[in-house]
């Protein structure tokens, strides 16, 4: 490993998170793990960058994510209407830049938004040490409020887990202590827990479409692809060895039901 590189570790935990990727309009989905677009957006906000600012230095950071607590899916269904009883505006605008009325008139809009409840993730980013040192300071002293995927999802507790010496992302994910909540820790009674992880890897066998070109609202965001690979990371839980209904009897440290929260 080169000495001018470092790894920044983050704890992403909140009552609600939403990592929507390219979903649009009245249905906003969430992916089961944080996206690179969402994590870089958090760092850009902490750093005080304007939406139209360049992301060139951030795009080169390599991202790894570990699912410490998968959480559960929440569907938020609600309606929107004008309190004056007027038709809702259309997404289209006239020559003066004013929104047109819906035609035929539409008085009620329906939106569906999806969130992850009580999820906890460990995210690690590898890149130039000076850049990550500045970002680590910014996360501890953010210029703009931080959010986990959406502005309505502020993080719980400190986000930064500190800056680490240069290392392979898989090694760092295997070294950062388990970040699950106390409630989740009481559910897992085995001495070890197997956690799903995703690592950015040019040789990875899966492509994900979550690399942003900009956060500028005027132009919109176009997403590029990156290669990733999936793996499992085994961490100690602090529980002593002993038989139990959730014990891993295979001896290989792999729990096929860990992702489901069983």
**What are the 10-residue block averages of pLDDT along the chain, 262 residues in total?**
84 95 77 96 97 95 97 90 86 80 86 94 98 98 96 94 97 97 91 96 94 90 94 93 53 60 60
Q: What CATH class is the domain 5-72+117-260?
A: alpha beta
Cross-strand bridge partners of residue 6: 127, 165
Residue 255 contacts residue 248 (beta carbons within 8 Å): yes
What is the distance between the alpha carbons of residues 150 and 129, in angstroms, rounded to a whole number? 28
Determine the pLDDT at residue 250: 42
Determine the pLDDT at residue 104: 86
Angle between helices 129-140 and 36-46 (to 10 degrees): 70
What is the distance between the alpha carbons of residues 146 and 114, in angstroms, rounded to a whole number? 19
Cα–Cα distances in Å, from 115 out to 11, 68, 210?
Answer: 18, 17, 18
Residue 178 contacts residue 88 (beta carbons within 8 Å): no
Q: Is the bond preceding 104 in cis, omega lying within 30 degrees of 0?
A: yes
Other beta carbons less than 10 A from residue 13's beta carbon: 23
Residue 190 contacts residue 243 (beta carbons within 8 Å): no
Other beta carbons less than 10 A from residue 44's beta carbon: 22
Measuring CA to CA, which residue among 64, 62, 76, 60 is closest to residue 33?
A: 64
The conformation of residue 150, written as its DSSP 8-state character, comes to: S
Measuring CA to CA, which residue among 208, 139, 193, 197 is closest to residue 168?
A: 197
What is the distance between the alpha carbons of residues 43 and 142, in angstroms, rounded to a whole number? 9
The conformation of residue 160, written as its DSSP 8-state character, comes to: E
pTM over 0.85: no
Residue 230 contacts residue 198 (beta carbons within 8 Å): yes
Round to the nearest angstrom and report the end-to-end CA distance of the chain: 38
What is the distance between the alpha carbons of residues 180 and 112, in angstroms, rounded to a whole number? 28
Determine the pLDDT at residue 246: 47
Determine the pLDDT at residue 192: 95
The conformation of residue 83, written as its DSSP 8-state character, comes to: T
Domain spans of the chain, in order of start: 5-72+117-260
What is the distance between the alpha carbons of residues 199 and 181, in angstroms, rounded to a whole number? 23
């Amino acid at each position: 490993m080169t000495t001018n590189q470092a790894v920044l570790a983050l704890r992403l935990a909140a009552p609600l998170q939403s990592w929507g990727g390219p979903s649009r309009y009245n249905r906003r989905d969430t992916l089961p793990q944080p996206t690179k677009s969402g994590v870089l957006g958090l760092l850009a906000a902490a750093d005080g960058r304007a939406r139209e600012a360049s992301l060139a230095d951030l795009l080169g950071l390599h991202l790894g994510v570990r699912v410490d607590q998968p959480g559960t899916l929440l569907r938020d269904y609600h309606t929107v209407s004008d309190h004056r009883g007027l038709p809702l505006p259309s997404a289209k605008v006239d020559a003066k830049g004013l929104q047109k009325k819906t035609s035929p008139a539409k008085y009620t809009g329906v939106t569906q938004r999806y969130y992850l409840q009580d999820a906890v993730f460990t995210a690690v980013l590898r890149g130039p040490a000076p850049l990550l040192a500045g970002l680590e300071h910014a996360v501890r002293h953010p210029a703009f409020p931080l959010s986990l995927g959406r502005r309505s999802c502020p993080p719980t507790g400190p986000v930064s887990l500190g800056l680490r010496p240069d290392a392979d992302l898989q090694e760092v994910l295997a070294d950062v202590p388990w970040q699950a909540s106390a409630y989740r820790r009481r559910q897992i009674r085995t001495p070890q827990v197997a956690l799903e992880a995703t690592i950015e890897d040019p040789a990875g066998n899966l492509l994900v479409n979550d690399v942003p070109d900009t956060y500028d609202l005027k132009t919109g965001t176009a997403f590029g692809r990156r290669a990733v690979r999936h793996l499992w990371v085994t961490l100690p839980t602090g529980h002593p060895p002993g038989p139990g209904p959730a014990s891993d009897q295979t001896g290989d440290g792999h729990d096929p039901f860990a992702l489901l929260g069983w």
